């Protein structure tokens, strides 16, 4: 009897996968290749496909399948049992939202992202304001549909990181802030004299592309399964472990921007490429949560990529590619430049130390937006006020301020904390890894594969098999902001 | 009552459109951005989506809608009446094929194209042979499902060009061959001394990209709705008049290759971008047939783009872009170089005169493959024999021979004649256009818009409203290979 059940599940997963795959490609294409006016029609198509997806996941066949799976629970293998759990979650998260509202949301989200692009380009917050408000309104409304008695922001956090609450976040950010503010101040003071001149001259974009290609090899990305594109805001998207896309952006006079984007997105990609073959194509076949995802990307970007050992590894090739631009630069100098700490405007270009202050600002703002304490129109002012308070800097334009990130325009509200938690997770991995082998020796000798194998075994291969907090704690024990602070202190002070 | 009916039709069209849009983007992405190993999973997704599409177009709701539309025929507006006709055609073409075979075909086609790519790259015909045979077997089988009593090749031709038969094709190619063979011989003799050296040195790809951008402006492509990508075999694809993609390929020492690819694909794109607003998003909202499509692309590429007037128009800007590479080249010399007639191996790089000989070879071969007279394994030998016979040249490798075109790998069998018929259509447009205004003066002065307006009014705006032969004859009278031959003779002899 289970055989039939498994067949039904497989057919269900295949159709879900196809719709998700199609929507993912439409979105990726919209971000990389599509002409501007395609947005409206793409929104319509996304709406139609999400209607089909909605009907598929909440329709009578899905309900019957889910009931049958739950009834047969004790006889199911662990993978199938887990799938039933996730299917139930998806059903509960979807079925409570009226279908037309859901479809309308998907269309609006498509338009919102499109408008955000223009607004950022033209530094026109007013243009984006109503869309931004709408995205928050939807998030709040849907969160209340999903859990009428729960704080809506916690519901959002939970959707990105199962088990995360606003309370836990408050504690984490509270602990971190206490340590981070003095570390950042001292590190910035220590960095003040570092001259980044040698990496602030024009580095031809064509050569930066060669560097991207080289870095993909260094960190071990399989190019048969992973391709690099270009986009305004770098991101990673996966359709299966056989098809992962990373993107970067090139600024002529900031070669480090693309360099670290490639490594960051490469970390995301490695996670997806490392999903176990046994679960690759079904419901469990991608990363389990945003914080676990960011813990991979930020581990490769900062802990590996911004280590002195990594600079030692890649500088010779960089000198060759950009010759003669880096001729006079030695490893120590290069490392100092890419680890210079300095309060700055743009999150994605921020150094490893001040980065989490950028996140805290977004965390505060989105929490207040979700509670209704703030409206979209208040955001530019509040944003600028907090940048002054946390980072001591003035924001000269919304383009470099509240309009800089794509997330809110796409309805990704409650996502930002993942970056900080992911960063902290990374420091805890490093501590555990160090008990087993010399991490810096592995990096220095180009044996990044050793690090990747560790992460693959502990994390990647499991896909969505284990909930994120449980997965993390089974490797490192409880989340501890102090381990992360210790790591930063040791590296930067 | 009709109002409800129109609503049902609109809902049906929207869902069809969304599935087609998704499959189109998946395919475009697969050809431009996706990593190699993505093919198998994409095939699965294409299979699932085409199953949905199959079920949608042949399901009970579609049948009921179609019956209701046909019953209400006399009360419908012309656009809706036309939609009912096309819906009936789609139903008849689809419903006769068992769904599982259809889905399997879509998956196989995806794989076939993927294998073709590798086979071409590695010059390995054997690798591709079984897929190629399979594509022909499917074409034959499906043609017999569709019209059991008809010659399967005619059924294929008809699917690309409503009303076209193998008989008509035989007559057209017969007439053309008689005139073309002597013209090609004389033109080649006349061209023998033309030295293409100045456009056979390295032209930096980055600068060729600037040229593409310029040419898109020259022929009037709206970049808000049309984007340019890169791919092995240039093509155009449209998702609506708000989203058209053209692609090109860059060869460093053959700048004319990309130049004329951009203009050719640009001609396809203009057609799609010029569909009437009133029919833009429904079933009628794209080009009506392959020959009409090719008649646009080849009109812009050859009649416009390879005219002396066009060379006069674009050479100054080209000199600026590629400075100092074209410094010593005058208009006449440039025009002579881009109209040099010389039998060659690769269709897409062929001159305007010998081009149709390439098509005749493919026509002969696919007709014999469809009748079963030839098997895939015979194709390399037959291909090479016909290239010797028609063009007098030896084919050194399958890569430059039977593996050069993507079409058969994608199941596009019966498509090739469209290129020749489209070329002939173009000469007839030119004759008609010339009765109304001085075409060369329009080109020389950069007023390509005048030509485009003529084509938009006569052809583009109608979309699929009128069947292709009827549309063409209403503008130019019957297809006449001699008008095309006259045009070539006048230009080249």
Q: Among residues of chain B, what percentage have pLDDT more than 90? A: 95
Active site residue A265: yes
Out of A129, A265, A294, A352, pick the active-site residue.
Answer: A265
Q: What are phi and psi for residue B243, nearest 5 degrees?
A: -155, 95
CB B246 within 8 Å of CB B269: yes
pLDDT of residue A233: 83
Buried/exposed B447-483: b ≥16 CB within 10 Å, e otherwise: ebebbbebbbebbbebbbbbbbbebbeeebeebbbeb
Cis peptide before B217 (omega within 30 of 0): no
pTM of the shown model: 0.91
Q: Write the pLDDT tens digit of every residue in B298-311.
A: 999 999 999 999 99
Distance CA A95, CA B379 (A): 56
A231 has pLDDT over 90: no
Tell the residue number behind the tokens 């176990």, with chain if given: A276
A206 has pLDDT over 60: yes
Q: Write the pLDDT tens digit of every residue in A24-44.
A: 999 999 989 999 999 889 999
> Any residues with CB less than 8 A from the CB of B274 and at least 6 apart, and which?
B241, B452, B455, B456, B460, B461
Q: Could you tell me how many CB contacts below 8 A there are between chain A and chain B?
A: 129
Tell the residue number behind the tokens 């996304």, with chain if given: A46
pLDDT of residue A232: 78
pLDDT of residue B321: 98
**Is B18 within 8 Å of chain A by CB?**
yes
**Is B435 within 8 Å of chain A by CB?**
no
B45: chain A residues, CB-CB within 8 Å: 17-18, 21-22
pLDDT of residue A1: 57
Angle at B433 (CA atoms; ends B428, B436), nearest 5 degrees: 145
Taking an 8 Å cut-off on Cβ atoms, the answer to whether B33 and A226 are in contact is no
**Is B241 within 8 Å of chain A by CB?**
no
CB B273 within 8 Å of CB B285: no
Taking an 8 Å cut-off on Cβ atoms, the answer to whether A14 and B226 are in contact is no
Nearest residue on chain A to B44, judged by CA atoms?
A18
B206: chain A residues, CB-CB within 8 Å: 206
pLDDT of residue B180: 96
**Is B227 within 8 Å of chain A by CB?**
yes
From the candidate CATH numbers 1.10.1370.30, 3.40.50.10240, 3.40.50.300, 1.10.1200.10, the one assigned to the domain spanning B166-492: 1.10.1370.30
**Is A225 within 8 Å of chain B by CB?**
yes
Taking an 8 Å cut-off on Cβ atoms, the answer to whether B15 and A240 are in contact is no
pLDDT of residue A110: 87
Q: What are phi and psi for residue B252, nearest 5 degrees?
A: -55, -40
The mean pLDDT of B439-449, rounded to a whole number, is 98
User: Residue B390 class from Cβ within 10 Å (0-12 exposed, 13-18 middle, 19+ buried)?
Assistant: buried
Of B153, B174, B200, B206, the C-alpha closest to B414 is: B153
How far A56 CA sits from the closest chain B CA (Å)? 12
Of A38, A125, A240, the C-alpha closest to B224 is: A38
The answer to whether the Cα torsion of A161, A167, A168, A174 is positive or negative is positive
pLDDT of residue A44: 92
How far A97 CA sits from the closest chain B CA (Å)? 21
β-bridge mates for residue B244, sequence order: B226, B238
User: Residue A39 class from Cβ within 10 Å (0-12 exposed, 13-18 middle, 19+ buried)?
Assistant: buried
Nearest residue on chain A to B27, judged by CA atoms?
A25
Taking an 8 Å cut-off on Cβ atoms, the answer to whether B22 and A26 are in contact is yes
Distance, CA of A414 to chain centre:
12
Closest partner CB to A242 (pick from B25, B33, B38): B38
SS3 B249: coil
Q: Among residues of chain B, what percentage have pLDDT more than 70? A: 100
B232 has pLDDT over 90: no
Distance CA A290, CA A254 (A): 27
B61: chain A residues, CB-CB within 8 Å: none
Cis peptide before B8 (omega within 30 of 0): no
The mean pLDDT of A446-460, rounded to a whole number, is 98
Nearest residue on chain B to A221, judged by CA atoms?
B35
Tell the residue number behind the tokens 């507006």, with chain if given: B77
Nearest residue on chain A to B228, judged by CA atoms?
A33
B126 has pLDDT over 80: yes
B181 has pLDDT over 90: yes
* Residues of B designated catalytic: 265
pLDDT of residue A336: 97
The answer to whether the Cα torsion of A26, A28, A31, A35 is positive or negative is negative
pLDDT band at B348 (very low <50, low <70, confident <90, very high): confident
What are the distances in angstroms from CA A68 to CA A77, A79, A253, A386? 14, 16, 59, 52
**Is B210 within 8 Å of chain A by CB?**
no
Q: Write the pLDDT tens digit of every residue in B42-74.
A: 999 999 999 999 999 999 999 999 999 999 999
B229: chain A residues, CB-CB within 8 Å: 33
B1 has pLDDT over 80: no
Distance CA B356, CA B354 (A): 6
A221: chain B residues, CB-CB within 8 Å: none
The half-sphere exposure of B222 on its side-chain side, counting CA atoms within 13 A, is 16
Closest partner CB to A224 (pick from B33, B37, B239): B37
B281: chain A residues, CB-CB within 8 Å: 41, 44
Q: What ipTM, to 2 d.p.?
A: 0.89
How do strand A236-240 and strand B226-230 relate by DSSP bridges?
A: unpaired
B37 has pLDDT over 70: yes
A14: chain B residues, CB-CB within 8 Å: 44, 48
A127 has pLDDT over 90: yes
For A49-100, the DSSP string reads: HHHHHHHHHHSHHHHHHHHHHHHTGGGS-HHHHHHHHHHHHHHHHHHTS-HH
pLDDT of residue B233: 83
């Amino acid at each position: 009897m289970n055989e039939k059940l498994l067949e039904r599940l497989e057919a269900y997963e295949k159709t879900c996968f196809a719709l998700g795959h199609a929507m993912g490609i439409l979105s990726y294409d919209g971000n990389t290749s599509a002409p501007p006016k395609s947005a409206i029609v793409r929104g319509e198509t996304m709406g139609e496909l999400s209607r089909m997806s909605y009907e598929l996941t909440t329709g009578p066949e899905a309900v019957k399948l889910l009931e049958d799976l739950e009834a047969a629970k004790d006889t199911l293998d662990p993978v199938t049992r887990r799938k039933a759990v996730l299917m139930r979650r998806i059903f509960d998260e979807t079925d409570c939202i009226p279908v037309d509202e859901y479809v309308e949301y998907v269309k609006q989200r498509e338009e919102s992202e499109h408008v955000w692009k223009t607004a950022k380009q033209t530094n026109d917050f007013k243009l984006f304001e109503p869309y931004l408000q709408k995205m928050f309104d939807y998030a709040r409304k849907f969160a209340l549909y999903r859990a009428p008695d729960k704080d809506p922001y916690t519901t959002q956090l939970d959707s990105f990181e199962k088990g995360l609450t606003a309370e836990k976040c408050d504690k984490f950010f509270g602990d971190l802030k206490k340590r981070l503010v003095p570390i950042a101040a001292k590190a910035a003071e220590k960095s003040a004299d570092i001259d980044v001149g040698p990496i602030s001259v024009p580095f031809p974009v064509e050569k930066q592309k060669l560097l991207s290609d080289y870095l993909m090899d260094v960190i071990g990305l399989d190019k048969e399964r992973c391709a690099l594109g270009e986009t305004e805001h770098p991101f990673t998207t996966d359709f299966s472990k056989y098809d992962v896309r990373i993107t970067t952006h090139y600024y002529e006079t900031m070669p480090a921007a693309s360099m670290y984007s490639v490594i960051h997105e490469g970390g995301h990609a490695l996670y997806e490429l490392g999903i176990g073959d046994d679960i690759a194509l079904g419901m469990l076949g991608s990363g389990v949560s945003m914080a676990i995802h960011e813990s991979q990307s930020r581990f490769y970007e900062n802990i590996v990529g911004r280590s002195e050992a990594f600079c030692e590894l890649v500088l010779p090739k960089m000198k060759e590619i950009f010759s003669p631009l880096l001729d006079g630069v030695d490893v120590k100098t290069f490392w100092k430049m890419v680890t210079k700490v300095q309060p700055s405007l743009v999150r994605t270009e921020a150094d490893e130390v001040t980065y989490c202050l950028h996140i805290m600002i977004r965390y505060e703002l989105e929490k207040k937006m979700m509670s209704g304490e703030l409206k979209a129109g208040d955001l530019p002012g509040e944003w600028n006020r907090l940048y002054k308070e946390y980072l001591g800097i003035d924001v000269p334009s919304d383009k470099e301020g509240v309009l800089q990130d794509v997330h809110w325009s796409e309805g990704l509200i409650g996502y930002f904390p993942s970056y900080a938690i992911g960063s902290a997770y990374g420091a805890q991995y490093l501590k555990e890894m160090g008990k087993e082998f010399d991490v810096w020796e592995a990096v220095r000798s180009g044996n990044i594969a050793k690090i990747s194998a560790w992460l693959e075994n502990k994390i990647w291969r499991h896909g969505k098999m284990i909930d994120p907090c449980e997965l993390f704690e089974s490797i490192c024990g409880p989340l501890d902001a102090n381990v992360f602070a210790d790591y930063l202190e040791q590296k930067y002070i």
